[in-house]
Amino acid sequence: MHLIDTHFHLDLYPKPEALVLEIEALKIYTIAVTNTPSVFDFTYQVTKNLKYVRAAIGLHPELALQRKSELPLFKEHLGKTRFVGEIGLDYGNLNDLEKRQQRNIFESILDSCATSKDKILTVHSRGTASDVISTIGNNFPGKIILHWFSGSIRELEQAVEFGFYFSINSAMASSVKGKRLILNIPSDKLLTETDGPFIEVERKPALPSDVVLTLEKLATMRDISIDSQRSIIFNNFKSLLE
């Protein structure tokens, strides 16, 4: 049974060309997200002939305003991949006008993805879960993964109602709030991620193989065997791809 890492920043590692071959050799299904359209092509070129690692085209919300000129490039590259991310909303210290601009960019990305109907999106929603969920809505013609979700239980329930998936990492599975959220996610909507290198394991940037640690935490929380949890995640990933 293969490991699954649905959110990994391959291009932010020192030697991505070598690393991606290691991931491929380990047969870990990995979505290599990107933060701007201008860096997508590099990740695409080093993964396009691989079986287990796929490049996702993204425009991270924290970069969206300063890189909005790359939206045409996003649309140009979108046909090269089924996977989109990292995208979403993150208002931080933005004023109301900047928040609206960020939402407009997110909406533009969603509109472009909806045209293809089969896209799989990994979405950032820190502090903006309600806006992210309502903006995507209940009729998006693709699949949505809420990456490292940190919203409320009510927001989680809304996302579940809309059919969204949730990717869990070791940090989320270690926090009190994260555990409470995880226990409210239906088993068939759970996926695993590392979000490496933003998450570290033993003081080193997380690698896709480190999703084993998250599987162990999920299995303990749900009082099932790690093999059973691994099988659930694998089957959920297969469903995601259907």
Q: Give tens-digit pLDDT for 108-157.
A: 999 999 998 899 999 999 999 999 999 999 999 999 999 999 999 999 99
pLDDT of residue 115: 93
Q: What is the spatial distance between Cα 80 and Cα 99, in angstroms, rounded to a whole number?
A: 29
What does the DSSP assignment read for 188-228? Answer: GGEEE---TTTSEETTEE--GGGHHHHHHHHHHHHTS-HHH
Q: Is 9 annotated as a binding residue?
A: yes
* Annotated binding residue 60: no
Enter the pTM of the model.
0.97
> CATH topology for 4-241?
TIM Barrel (3.20.20)
pLDDT value of residue 1: 75
2 is in an annotated binding site: no
Task: Say whether 90 counts as a known binding-site residue.
Answer: no
